[in-house]
Amino acid sequence: MPITLYHNPRCSKSRQALALLEERGIEVRQRRYLDEPPSEAELRDLLSRLDADGHALVRTQEAEWKAMDPEVDLSDQEQVIAAIVAHPRLLERPIADDGERAVLGRPPEDVLALVDAD
């Protein structure tokens, strides 16, 4: 089963994570989340596999976040999901997902936890 990488090709960390996986011969399905934003249900599923809370998924330095902060409570997973659905740029990247576990690639080497766990 390929690893899905929530990916923004303009992001250096995202490109590094992709290269690390490809260098190891891992089949990667790139999910360019700005072109194909995840739905609320997909984000809930992703969070259930991610060893982090909803706060970790938010890029708090983005203009969209600053415009809505403090309206969104980072401790409220549903509010975080709604914010990301409304503004996909808020999704932290890269995220690698093998369907059973997901990891945030910050730093990019963290995506290798999915490979090393096998």
Residue positions annotated with a catalytic role: 11
95-97 sheet: strands from edge to edge: 28-32, 3-7, 95-97, 102-104
**Alpha-carbon gap, residue 96 to 113, rounded angstroms:** 9
Q: Which residues contact 48 (CB under 8 A, 6 or more apart)?
A: none
